[in-house]
Amino acid sequence: MIRVHCFVSCLCESLKKVPGVDQRPFYFGVWDAEFFVTERHRLAYHAERSSPAFFCEWFERLYGTPVRRWYVEAETKTQNQNRLLALLADRPADRKILVMLDLYRLPERENKFNQDPFPHYVMLETTEDPESWLMQDPDFRWEGRLPKQRILDSIASPAVAGGYFFDERSVRSARDDVVARYFETCLLEHENPFTAAIRGIVEAHLQGRDGTELSELKRALREIPVLAIRKYAYEHGFAFFFRALAADPAEFDTLCDEVDTLVKTYTTVQFRALKLAMTGELSLAPGLFELLDQQHARELALKRRLRELFHAWRALGDAERARILAAPPVIP
């Protein structure tokens, strides 16, 4: 399945390696994960106040492993670099070290969104070559060696600041009751903040609110693709429940198609907003808002089905649960 959130993908890369541990529930927190709308009514996937604290807290609750911060924002880049060097030098084999870097400063790496800057979490290890580090980028399904200094330069970017570590050895399977609480926390059943934010941004630019101009709408919505892919997290949610319930795989495929439609329609939304910004034709606005209405309804329907599956999963008796777990899974 598609990876959808760099910090979450780094944590889940370790979960996949542990027998009996299912990483898919952790993606419940991604479909409506934190994003920002700036004072200039611009969509932003990252801001100075960005924090993965929510995921750190729930990772420990679900899987029993604390995710600790090593980066100290009150200190200088040099001090934090020295802390990273010490962590890497003394890293136990089962310790994962995450760092935020500016992927734009590593042009040899894929940056499919062409963002400048592009804050992004990866995991680092040293190698036998003191001038080369191993970088793991689970979100983009990439792993390889890069020059140590090039990586340090990307970490030194003023656009990025952050780093965490955790130990794989203490990972355990999530209890059903904790998974249930996490699901209840994450499922915003009657609202879709991302679509609502896009609508608000378009309205602000149409009205010239806070000094905005319609021509700025292209810039205001340029990060739609970065955020839209988070909606693929619904596939992980459906996969978890369909596997746990041994439900019809044909319906699973249908729901995944609907998720795919949801994600790809945001490209159409962005295109129509761009056309509105470039032409200034206000007659295009109603069609754009109608498309956003369709997105809102489509996502609410996906959430309703998730809720139904969740209730069915919670209603399983121990004997039925054991029988399903013993059978070959209908969803891999």
Reply yes or no on whether the pLDDT at 109 is more than 80: no
- Averaged pLDDT for residues 13-25: 92
Q: Shortest CA distance to 83 belongs to which of 98, 93, 73, 70?
A: 70
Q: Write the pLDDT tens digit of every residue in 62-88.
A: 999 999 999 999 999 999 999 999 999
Element (H, E) at 121: strand 119-126
- Averaged pLDDT for residues 308-321: 88
Reply yes or no on whether the pLDDT at 112 is more than 70: no
First to last CA, the chain: 11
pLDDT value, residue 75: 94
Q: Higher pLDDT residue, 296 or 118?
A: 296
Environment class of 60 (CB within 10 Å of its CB; exposed 0-12, middle 13-18, buried 19+): middle
Number of alpha carbons in the 13 Å side-chain half-sphere of residue 133: 19
- Averaged pLDDT for residues 150-158: 95
Q: Write the pLDDT tens digit of every residue in 217-232.
A: 999 999 999 999 999 9
pLDDT value, residue 331: 80
Contact 106, 151 (CB under 8 A): yes
At 161, the pLDDT band (50, 70, 90 cuts) reads very high
Question: How distant is the alpha carbon of residue 71 from its chain centre?
Answer: 21
Lowest mean pLDDT among 46-50, 288-292, 297-301: 46-50
- Averaged pLDDT for residues 300-321: 92
At 296, the pLDDT band (50, 70, 90 cuts) reads very high
At 324, the pLDDT band (50, 70, 90 cuts) reads confident
pLDDT value, residue 107: 79
Give 286-289's long-range contacts (Cβ < 8 A, gap of 24+).
Answer: 288/202, 289/199, 289/202
- Averaged pLDDT for residues 281-296: 98
Q: What is the mean pLDDT of the chain?
A: 93
pLDDT value, residue 288: 98
- Express as a percent the part of the chain with pLDDT over 90: 86
pLDDT value, residue 317: 79
Q: Write the pLDDT tens digit of every residue in 177-200.
A: 999 999 999 999 999 999 999 999
- Averaged pLDDT for residues 210-214: 93
pLDDT value, residue 115: 81
pLDDT value, residue 326: 66
Reply yes or no on whether the pLDDT at 151 is more than 60: yes
Reply yes or no on whether the pLDDT at 116 is more than 70: yes
For residue 126, the cross-strand partners are 133
Nearest-angstrom CA–CA distance, 107 and 54: 31
Radius of gyration of the CA atoms of the chain, in A: 21
- Averaged pLDDT for residues 238-243: 96
For residue 137, the cross-strand partners are 142
Nearest-angstrom CA–CA distance, 7 and 122: 8
Q: Which CATH class is domain 66-170?
A: alpha beta
- Averaged pLDDT for residues 10-21: 92
pLDDT value, residue 227: 96
